[in-house]
Amino acid sequence: MGDRSRLCSVWLGSETGILKGVSVSRKQAFNFCNTSHLSRDQEVRALCWGDPAESELLVGSVDGTVKTFSTEKGAFTESRRCGDPVEGCFTGLAALSGSALLTCGESGTVRVWREDSSEPVTELDAGKNVCRMRQSPVDQHKVATGGKENGLKIWDLERPEKSVFTAKNLRDDWLDLRRPHWVRDMAFIPDSDKVVTCTGYHQVHVFDPSSPQRRPVLEAEYGEYPLTTLSLPAAGNTVVVGNTHGQIAMLDLRKGLVRSCLKGLAGGVRWLQCHPSQPVVASCGLDRFLRIHSLEDRKLLHKVYLKSRLNCLLLASRDLEDGGGATEGEGVSQEVKEEEDEVWDTMEQVGEAEEKPKRKTTEEEEEPQKKSKKKRKKGQD
């Protein structure tokens, strides 16, 4: 299994609790789990790297457990309880220095866990109905949270008593009616203090904590359906967003205009991520496909069917086409084939009905039939 896991450059979590790895260069997909004990309680909701070398993968499940998967060994090495299912599913998962772990649930409780302790060392309340928590790529002790009727908040884990930044309510509309909040995802913009968010009301907002204004410094809209996820490309002042109807677009963060749209999806987008160095974006969702699009010419580069509805994905920092020095293989791995074979084995076999050969009429048989018809007509006359 270690040989297979080292080939994978894309990792995905499914509703059935299966951790899936995809080797883009070899066009192979692998399942890493015990298929005999699958349940909805093991549904994967969050993925993140456990170390900078990307040798460990942290997998957050619905039942509140966080499993450690070794990409070198190709197996799960550790499991720890980091939440209660009553508090909701994981909405954020991140690793801190010193083998510490950062978790956030839908109830809004953000916790820091040490490896040698079963109780959290730091805990803060980010409010109810949190949809996403994101860690800053520059400062690992800075996180952002947001949810339904729960505006953007930025926290410093070293000072968890109060948020560093709290977004102000949006201005009332032209009828002087209150505009609701619904932050679905956010990201820290590199080389600045700004944070970009997408909402369930098809809006994209940019906040600048360094300015005295706590309302968005940029407001834009895309489409008519709720936005579910976003990601920032490696270069350029743009953001890639996806919505519940399988639409993905790239927006300009300076003017708020749509620069391009990516096509080919047939279901709601649950997660997308831009590669840290290549101009590509990977997406997954309800249609069970992993898709990788080019951000330069908008072409669909790769498309892999993974048999399960997908919740999240994680890209390796290395080149996606890097096959790890392996030779060319078959199109689909044996692990994925075994999952399909189990379904066919449970189906009842139906005997094939014997088809009776059709009797072909020859010209000699057709002639007497025509004569008999003529005699009948004469008799009727």
What mean pLDDT comes out for the span 153-173? 93
At 141, is the pLDDT very low, low, confident or very high (cuts 50, 70, 90)?
very high
Considering only residues 257 and 331, tell me which one the structure prediction assigns the higher pLDDT: 257
Range in 35-49, 78-92, 179-193, 345-359 with the lowest mean pLDDT: 345-359
Please give the structure tokens belonging to residue 230: 């976003």
Per-residue model confidence as pLDDT tens digits over 289-316: 999 999 999 999 999 999 999 999 999 9
pLDDT of 370 over the 90 cut: no
As a whole number of angstroms, the distance between CA 309 and CA 260 comes to: 26
pLDDT greater at residue 371 or residue 131: 131
Residue 235 has a pLDDT of 76
Q: Of 85-89, 154-158, 371-375, which range is least confident? A: 371-375
pTM: 0.82
Across residues 240-260, what is the average pLDDT? 95
pLDDT at 236 over 90: no
68-97 mean pLDDT? 91
